[in-house]
Amino acid sequence: MEWLPETRQLKLIDQRELPAELRWLVLSTYEEVATAIREMAVRGAPAIGAAAAFGMALAAARAEAHGAVAVRANISAAHDTLGAARPTAINLAWALKRVRQATATATDDAAAIAQMALQEAQRIADEDVALNERMAEFGAALIQPGETVLHHCNTGALATVDWGTALGVIRKAHELGKRPQVLVDETRPRLQGAKLTAWELQQYGVSFDVISDNAAGFFLQTGQVQRVFVGADRVAANGDVANKIGTYMLALAARESNVPFYVVVPTSTIDLSVASGSEIPIEERPAGEVLDLLHEGRPVTPAGVTARNPAFDITPAHLVSAFVTEFGIVEPPYIETLAELLKGQ
């Protein structure tokens, strides 16, 4: 994503159109940013956070001409609207809090407040790129040359500002000459793996095969996978992981098959305010995402049926081999090591 200083707009890729078309959205208001987050034009926890921060900057910029009171009111309205766009990813609330704190100043200069909002949003975006590269270095060290790794959902540059989390690790291993082979879960029902991860890996020249989600257990059980890498939308204090639906089943299969299961997350995704995964709200998305799928041009489900569509599930901490963060590898016991990691952050 990119801030356009001349027009004071936010430009980002419309991920709904990939891989058929690389299309850009240019957003002018915080309401448009909230809609883009809610409708998954932008998705991935770090990307959602950065986009929301720029949404706050848009709110300040649009009200600047009306004075400091109007700027603060618009920032407050944007905070509430953007914060409600998607409930599970903690990066959203984290980024909004940072911008709000950065603009909590005694000045009555509307332009100065708007500039503070933009500077903090840009700082969040720049930090994301830098810390993702650090995570990639740490994670790539876990991959041996020629290994096959399994990846769920999309955690690459599309899910962040650049580089990515779990997919960034794979990208870095490839660039270091380790040439991993990747098995890409389709990640139903929105198919972020088949659509987005496959598209990204093509751009990087990484060798991969797309597999259906329910084939992952087979490849793990038969020894054809050496490591699993996933991202997360929120990590609880005890190490429980909220991530894209299907992650829990993947972690169970990995544990049964004695395959290491790594979660790659920036520390902004770790939420020590929730004791365990049971306290993390799970977004349930529209049934149409499940029911409107077509096969050979025809609906896959009979007319009139209903569906349930949780967007995330909870993977218990004991199934996680280690976390890869911008500060290094974190191992159990997570109730202690995660708290120590975040001390002073």
Q: What is the mean pLDDT of residues 296-307?
A: 94
pLDDT above 90 (res 79): yes
Q: Each residue of 89-112: pLDDT tens digit? A: 788 999 999 999 999 987 889 999
Q: How confident is the model at residue 285 (pLDDT cuts 50, 70, 90)?
A: very high
Q: Look at phi and psi of residue 70 and say left if phi exceeds 0, alpha if psi is from -120 to 50, else beta.
A: alpha
Q: Each residue of 14-32: pLDDT tens digit? A: 999 999 999 999 999 999 9
pLDDT above 80 (res 205): yes
Average pLDDT, the chain: 95
Here the tokens at position 155 are 């955690």
pLDDT above 80 (res 344): no
Position 345 scores a pLDDT of 67
Q: Catalytic: 313?
A: no
Position 141 scores a pLDDT of 98
Point out the catalytic residue in the list 233, 240, 271, 313. 233
- Tell me the domains of the chain and their CATH numbers: 2-132 (1.20.120.420), 134-342 (3.40.50.10470)
Reported in sequence order, the residue ranges of the chain that DSSP labels E, i.e. its strands, are: 2-4, 9-13, 24-27, 148-151, 181-185, 208-211, 227-230, 234-236, 241-244, 261-264, 270-271, 294-295, 298-299, 312-315, 322-325, 328-330
Q: Which amino acid is at 267?
A: T
Compute CA distances 240 → 36, 270, 323, whole Å: 28, 10, 11
Position 240 scores a pLDDT of 98
pLDDT above 70 (res 245): yes
Among 65, 78, 157, 158, which residue's Cα sits nearest to residue 117? 78
Q: What is the mean pLDDT of residues 239-253?
A: 98
> What is the rounded CA–CA span in Å between residue 212 and residue 191?
10
Q: How confident is the model at residue 238 (pLDDT cuts 50, 70, 90)?
A: very high
Q: How confident is the model at residue 280 (pLDDT cuts 50, 70, 90)?
A: very high
Between 257 and 162, name the one with better pLDDT: 257
Give percent of the chain above pLDDT 70: 99
Instruction: Specify which residues 27 forms β-bridges with.
Output: 10
Q: Which amino acid is at 279?
A: E
pLDDT above 70 (res 296): yes
Q: What is the mean pLDDT of residues 188-199?
A: 96
Position 89 scores a pLDDT of 76
